[in-house]
């Protein structure tokens, strides 16, 4: 088995040819059905298929990451090939391990172009599903298929195993496989049925025979949860909740921190209310009580509930342990009752911006969605939006540049906010990327950043100067990115592929209508005008030298970014529409803070000030001698806004 746990979102391809992040323009793309809210029509044969539904006995429950009744979408590679899909019952699963599986539930959209449908179970992701531990071949004619409605894609199939399967401490993968022989319908182009959600361990594994040749774990991508469940038999605890670790949180001195704690319901009685304690650096606090607005009844499901960490009287990083002591008024029966995390207590609130790195390209036909999403964030959040559009989808893109391989974006359109989870640049993790942006803004930064950028016409370079105000000591990596707005050109290479041109405008959101049929950009290929484009970065230059930051010790840093020399990119750049972005990364690779500043073109070739709002206040030779006027050679110029930089005077 060749198992890859990589972020493959959107780019599981037939033929990949990588250069940094480059991909062949004709690659097949793993995509959600582009219009998942539109109804599809099932054929009459499918509509008349018998209903298969197994009701659980008294000692049985249906378990899975997807909850029946929730919205469902279609996913696929739009190609005739074999699909292998699986969920995992992990070894630490408190609900299913040690019990017996009697049946498997899954959903199908269109069976008219399917063959070789089977369910299977295996302790590992199998190289050949026909040789899995348990395999049950199904008669396609007996299966249900079709779409229930606009947001209920697929129809349910409950398949009873020939013999119960006991789940050991090794866990098990539960899978469904089928071969698509035709792509004549939406249900065959996007045959995988998923429900809303992401980031849940074991919720979606898949591969295909041509486009996604290796098993991939897609839990962190925007594809959702596989709409699959298993019928489990055994003795079940009634009142049990397992909380999940919550990472690092921030708050101000003397201020309580409320956040959403993820919890797994491991009890058949569900969750109506619960009690918990918070331990801070080994000291246990008073027990608190929470009553849910609506009881949570999904057995084995994960829910988020607001809990509160009391104010701390001292600054610094506090180790926190949350213990769920009671469920529904009785002792918590879960094997694991605690969740761990850290709370960083800060002295003041610092300004912050959110770094949005987007993977896109002119050859990406779904990337107008990303263009609309980036424009929405820029309009909504202004200076708090630090957008970086990475045009590395196709090598023919004139805006393609070398960038940080650790950015973790391999599919288009996709993005990360502050190097967090990969998400859709328009929908985010839910319905609107702006919701994810607002959530990110609530995280308090523990290093403040101010930034300026100055363009030197003589050298065709931008000097960035950053000042850092750390509230917490630590070692951080610093990066600079130069971006440009309004990039365009008359060559064909500047044209943007657009799959949304096939859809009527009334089927698209308002900010997507220009890309629909009859819209301003409603052509399969349109002349694009591109904003937030990364044109240079410190990742492709010399490493940024940043010393360890210590609490309340101001540190300054400068870095020079050269504009690209390749044409036609350099020709398209308007110096007056450039910005420089600086951001700090912690040891885990998350962005601590970011800032964006316009680039000022303040000096002419001979060192003459070009802006009336900025004045030169001092000038020095390279050896530090102050001079009263420009002197041939390298001059060090200090401006009234505090900026200092070098300029060559001829």
Mean pLDDT computed over every residue of the chain:
87
Question: Over the stretch 384-415, which tens digit does the pLDDT of each residue have?
Answer: 999 999 999 998 999 999 999 889 887 789 99
Is the pLDDT confidence value at 147 over 70?
Answer: yes
Distance CA 116, CA 46 (A): 17
Query: Taking the alpha carbons of 28, 15, 7, 194 in that order, is the dihedral positive or negative?
Result: positive
Question: Over the stretch 298-344, which tens digit does the pLDDT of each residue have?
Answer: 887 788 999 999 998 898 889 999 999 999 999 999 989 999 999 99
- Kindly indicate the confidence band of residue 155, based on its pLDDT and cuts at 50, 70 and 90: very high
For the stretch 248-284, what's the b/e string if a residue is b when 16 or more beta carbons lie within 10 angstroms of its beta carbon?
A: ebbbbeeeebebebbbbbbbbbbbeebbbebeeeeee
Residue 8: per-residue pLDDT: 29
Question: Over the stretch 557-601, which tens digit does the pLDDT of each residue have?
Answer: 999 999 999 999 999 999 999 999 999 999 889 999 999 999 998
Is the pLDDT confidence value at 193 over 80?
Answer: yes
Is the pLDDT confidence value at 153 over 60?
Answer: yes
Over range 535-542, report the average pLDDT: 90
Q: DSSP E strands: which ranges in 328-429?
A: 330-331, 338-346, 354-360, 385-391, 414-417, 422-423
Distance CA 534, CA 401 (A): 8
Closest alpha carbon to 540 in 568, 558, 564, 557: 564
Residue 611: per-residue pLDDT: 52
- Kindly indicate the confidence band of residue 356, based on its pLDDT and cuts at 50, 70 and 90: very high
Over range 87-97, report the average pLDDT: 90
Kindly report the pTM of this predicted structure.
0.69
Over range 493-512, report the average pLDDT: 92
Least confident among 41-45, 85-89, 409-413, 607-611: 41-45
Residue 299: per-residue pLDDT: 80
151 exposure class (CB count in 10 Å sphere: 0-12, 13-18, 19+): middle
Least confident among 49-63, 92-106, 531-545, 565-579: 49-63
Over range 355-369, report the average pLDDT: 95
CA distances from 70 to 4, 53, 262 (A): 29, 17, 19
Question: Over the stretch 6-47, which tens digit does the pLDDT of each residue have?
Answer: 222 332 322 222 222 223 222 334 566 654 332 222 222 333
Over range 65-69, report the average pLDDT: 82
- The one-character DSSP state at 563 is P
Residue 199: per-residue pLDDT: 76
How much of the chain exceeds pLDDT 70, in percent? 90
Over range 199-217, report the average pLDDT: 91
Query: Taking the alpha carbons of 581, 586, 589, 590 in that order, is the dihedral positive or negative?
Result: negative
Distance CA 21, CA 408 (A): 10
How much of the chain exceeds pLDDT 90, in percent? 66
- Residue 88 or residue 149, greater confidence: 88
């Amino acid at each position: 088995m060749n198992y890859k746990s990589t972020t493959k979102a959107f780019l599981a391809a037939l033929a990949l040819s990588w250069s940094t992040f480059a991909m062949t323009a004709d690659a097949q793309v793993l995509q959600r059905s582009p219009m998942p809210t539109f109804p599809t029509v099932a054929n009459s044969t499918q509509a008349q298929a018998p209903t298969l539904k197994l009701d659980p006995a008294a000692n049985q429950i249906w378990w899975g990451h997807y909850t029946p009744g929730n919205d469902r979408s279609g996913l696929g590679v739009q190609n005739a090939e074999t699909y292998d899909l699986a969920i995992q019952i992990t070894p630490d699963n408190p609900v299913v391990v040690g019990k017996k599986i009697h049946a498997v539930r899954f959903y199908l959209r269109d069976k008219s172009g399917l063959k070789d449908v089977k369910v299977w179970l295996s302790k590992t992701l199998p190289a050949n599903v026909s040789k899995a531990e348990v395999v049950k071949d199904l008669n396609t004619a007996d299966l249900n298929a079709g779409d229930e409605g606009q947001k209920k894609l697929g129809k349910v199939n409950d398949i009873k195993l020939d013999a119960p399967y006991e789940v050991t401490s090794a866990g098990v993968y539960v899978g469904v496989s089928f071969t698509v022989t035709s792509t004549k319908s939406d249900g065959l182009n996007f045959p995988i049925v998923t429900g809303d959600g992401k980031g849940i361990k074991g919720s979606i594994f898949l591969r295909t025979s041509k486009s996604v040749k290796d098993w991939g774990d897609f839990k962190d991508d925007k594809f959702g949860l596989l709409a699959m469940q298993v019928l489990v038999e055994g003795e079940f605890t009634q009142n049990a909740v397992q909380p999940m670790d919550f990472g690092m949180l921030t708050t101000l001195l003397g201020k309580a921190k409320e956040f959403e704690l993820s919890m797994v319901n491991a009890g058949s009685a569900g969750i109506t209310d619960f009690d918990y304690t918070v331990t801070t650096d080994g000291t246990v606090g008073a027990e608190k009580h929470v009553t849910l607005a609506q009881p949570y009844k999904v057995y084995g499901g994960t829910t988020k509930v607001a809990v509160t960490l009391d104010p701390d009287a001292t600054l610094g990083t506090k180790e926190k342990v949350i213990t769920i002591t009671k469920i529904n008024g009785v002792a918590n029966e879960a094997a694991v009752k605690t969740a761990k995390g850290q709370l960083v207590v800060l002295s003041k609130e610092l300004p912050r911006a959110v770094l949005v790195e987007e993977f896109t390209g002119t050859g990406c036909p779904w990337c107008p969605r990303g263009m609309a999403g980036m424009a929405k964030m820029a309009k909504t959040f202004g200076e708090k939006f630090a957008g970086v559009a990475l045009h590395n989808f196709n090598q023919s893109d004139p805006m393609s540049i070398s960038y940080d391989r650790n950015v973790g974006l391999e599919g288009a359109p996709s993005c990360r906010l502050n190097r967090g989870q990969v998400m859709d640049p328009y929908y985010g993790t839910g319905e609107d990327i702006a919701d994810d942006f607002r959530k990110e803004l609530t995280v308090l930064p523990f290093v403040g950043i101010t930034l300026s950028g100055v363009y030197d016409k003589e050298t065709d370079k931008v000097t960035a100067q950053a000042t850092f105000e750390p509230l917490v000591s630590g070692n951080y990596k610093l990066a600079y990115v130069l971006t440009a707005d309004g990039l365009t050109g008359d060559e064909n290479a500047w044209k943007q592929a657009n799959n949304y041109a096939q859809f009527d405008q009334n089927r698209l959101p308002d900010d997507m209508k220009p890309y629909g049929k009859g819209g301003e950009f409603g052509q399969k290929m349109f002349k694009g005008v591109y904003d937030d484009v990364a044109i240079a970065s410190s990742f492709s230059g010399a490493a940024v030298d940043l010393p360890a930051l210590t609490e309340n010790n101001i540190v300054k840093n400068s870095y020079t970014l050269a504009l690209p020399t390749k044409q036609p990119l350099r020709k398209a750049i308007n110096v007056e529409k450039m910005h420089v972005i600086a951001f700090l990364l912690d040891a885990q690779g998350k962005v601590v803070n970011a800032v964006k500043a316009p680039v000022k073109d303040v000096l002419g070739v001979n060192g003459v000030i070009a802006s009336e709002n900025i004045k030169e206040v001092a000038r020095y030779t390279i050896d530090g001698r102050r001079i009263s006027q420009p002197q041939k050679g390298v001059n060090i110029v200090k401006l009234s806004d505090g900026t200092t930089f070098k300029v060559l005077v001829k």
